Amino acid sequence: MTLESLKPTYADVCLASQRLAGVAHRTPVLTSQTFNDMVGAQVFFKCEQFQRGGAFKFRGAYNAIAALTELQRAAGVLAYSSGNHAQGVALAARLLGAKATIIMPSDAPESKVKATRGYGAEVIHYDRATEDRTVIALDIQKRTGMVLVPPFDDHNIISGQATAAKELFEEVGELDALMVCLGGGGLLAGSALAASGLSSTCKVYGVEPEAGNDVQQSFKSGSIVRIDPPQSIADGALTLAVGEKTFPIIQRLVTDILTVTDEQLIQTMKFFAERMNTVVEPTGCLGAAAVQHGAIKIKPNQRIGVIVSGGNVDLLTYSRYLSMPI
């Protein structure tokens, strides 16, 4: 392993924490006696659905843009995303005085486009079927000198996402296990780094949709597996392959990768709505669903942390999920 692949370190997580102090919300840690009784453990939900922009993505985006030189920031930042990363980058850029351009598919939900424009970003549309967004991004980069902010495979993104788990440990103390939603692995790699600095006992688990278990396959085989576009309601976790920077950290610090089904996600989403009065998007339910549906063996009264990653879901879609007879 090269020295570079061992980065970022826990010290980088602390630096990200300092950058985010007073800017990111210190999101609440919620508990539910009903959930604890149901699973036979003490569960602590770190609620990033209440983060600025509605998901943890703001943490990494802000940390990455704050780490740029003034000259780079003056050129502006660029991102491609149809989801929470778009809003995180747009908001972080505005707060740091940088221009942001977000490349979104032309069929992206109108609510997401509106929210991203609302944070002051310019939205450029592309046709998913005929155009390649990386080519468009490269072209804009060449013409304008704008800096690309990647969604997960970047050291500053990873150490920014790590601050959610850092806050959780600081608030509740030692944990036996930490469950983390998993797409490209920025949140998981970061959470594992935070655990490595703040806990001596905590096992860290990544949870991805069963239909898109590329990281589970990669973790088992020891090299990055790329899959075809998966079908799952967890739209924030449909990445086709884990990152080249996130994977070595996951291999080194994560205990295992678990999966849950869409039906299990819906059950957990309903639990959050009905019993905890909070809206969580499907992807945000991954960690909690793994605990609720027995994906890990729980010993009585173990202390389990869960990162609830976001709450941005189209209302019509959400109400459809809630009314499904599952």
Ligand X SMILES: *Cc1c(COP(=O)(O)O)cnc(C)c1O
Work out how close the CB of 279 gets to ligand X at its nearest, in angstroms, rounded to a whole number: 12
> In this structure, what token pair is assigned to residue 31?
């508990």
- Identify the bridge partners of residue 30 per DSSP, sorted by sequence position: 45
C-alpha span between 107 and 104 (Å, rounded)? 8
Choose between 42 and 168: whose C-beta lies nearer to ligand X: 168
Q: What residues numbered 269-308 form the site for ligand X, per CB under 6 A?
A: 281, 283-284
Q: What residues numbered 235-274 form the site for ligand X, per CB under 6 A?
A: 236-237
Residue 280 near residue 287 (C-beta atoms within 8 A)? no
Q: With binding defined as CB under 6 A, does residue 186 bind ligand X?
A: yes
**Is 179 in a helix, a strand, or coil?**
strand
Q: With binding defined as CB under 6 A, does residue 57 bind ligand X?
A: yes
Q: With binding defined as CB under 6 A, does residue 59 bind ligand X?
A: no
From the list 75, 117, 119, 64, the residue with the least C-alpha distance to 95 is: 119
Is 82 designated active site?
Answer: yes
Q: With binding defined as CB under 6 A, does residue 185 bind ligand X?
A: yes
Is 319 designated active site?
Answer: no
C-alpha span between 174 and 263 (Å, rounded)? 31
C-alpha span between 150 and 185 (Å, rounded)? 12
**Active-site residue, selected from the candidate residues 57, 112, 166, 245:** 57
**Is 276 in a helix, a strand, or coil?**
coil
CA dihedral 274, 32, 85, 209 (to 10 degrees): -80
From the list 231, 175, 224, 217, the residue with the least C-alpha distance to 198 is: 175
Residue 279 near residue 49 (C-beta atoms within 8 A)? yes
Calculate ∠ Cα 154-169-4, nearest 5°.
25
C-alpha span between 193 and 9 (Å, rounded)? 7
Q: With binding defined as CB under 6 A, does residue 153 bind ligand X?
A: no
C-alpha span between 317 and 257 (Å, rounded)? 28
Q: Which stretch binds ligand X (CB under 6 A): 137-145, 178-186, 223-231, 287-295?
A: 178-186
**Active-site residue, selected from the candidate residues 17, 46, 81, 82:** 82
Per-residue x/- marks for ligand X, 69-108, CB under 6 A? --------------xx------------------------
Q: With binding defined as CB under 6 A, does residue 8 bind ligand X?
A: no
Given 66, 149, 181, 250, the residue binding ligand X (CB under 6 A): 181
Given 150, 184, 212, 287, the residue binding ligand X (CB under 6 A): 184
Choose between 176 and 214: whose C-beta lies nearer to ligand X: 214
Q: Which stretch binds ligand X (CB under 6 A): 21-29, 184-192, 195-203, 220-228?
A: 184-192
Choose between 81 and 267: whose C-beta lies nearer to ligand X: 81
Q: With binding defined as CB under 6 A, does residue 212 bind ligand X?
A: no
- Residues annotated as part of the active site: 57, 82
Interface with ligand X (CB under 6 A): 55, 57, 83-84, 151-152, 161, 181-188, 236-237, 281, 283-284, 309-310
